[in-house]
Amino acid sequence: MQGILTLLRHKAVLWIVGLINLAGTLYGYYWYEPQLATSKWYYYPFIPDSPTASLFFTIIVFLWIFGRRSRLFEALAFVTLIKYGVWAVVMNALMLNQLGTGDSFLTAMALMLMVSHGAMAFQALLYSPLMTFRVKELVLVAIWVIHNDVVDYVLGQWPRYPALAEHIQWIGYGSFWLTGLCLLMGYLLVARDSIDNKIT
């Protein structure tokens, strides 16, 4: 395990991880452009959920590279990467189940999104031993993510999946409990016993 952690925090590896996440973040914001174009400006920070999660992770990776860290951004990255990573995998799986796999382009796009978002959640778990956020940062993240859920499912700004629109109430209900699970994981895996790890 220690050998894996040494590899994960090596600067060369961090550069690769950081640049991949930066590219994914930029593509994610581009993907949300049509929805942002028809939304009020004050919703902008809460609409592109997944690219904002990968932005948080990109920020902490580059902070680590340059010998800095932010416990708040580490907590934001951990919770949102898992939440929106898992959420997107489930949504795309449900969409394929609803629409079938007859459209090869739609199927390929859904599978790409499932793999990339699954990787988001996985890297949060993979890098969690390097994170050092505490309960107070987790509380601030809880406020952010719960508010984001309200914007999505009460104010109607959730990511557009027309095939699943009739199930939006259940999707919102599941998202609420997913938020709680991610916060609990953040507490159990990091906040309860955080250790300062230096970047080599």
Q: Per the confidence metrics, is the pTM higher than 0.85?
A: yes
Q: What is the pLDDT of residues 89-142, one digit of tens each?
A: 999 999 888 888 778 898 999 999 999 999 999 999 999 999 999 999 999 999
Q: Which long-range contacts does 37-46 make (Cβ < 8 Å, 24+ apart)?
A: 39/157, 43/151, 43/155, 43/157, 46/147, 46/148, 46/151, 46/152, 46/157
Q: Quick one: average pLDDT of 188-200?
A: 66
Q: What is the pLDDT of residues 27-76, one digit of tens each?
A: 999 999 999 999 999 999 999 999 999 999 999 999 999 999 999 999 99
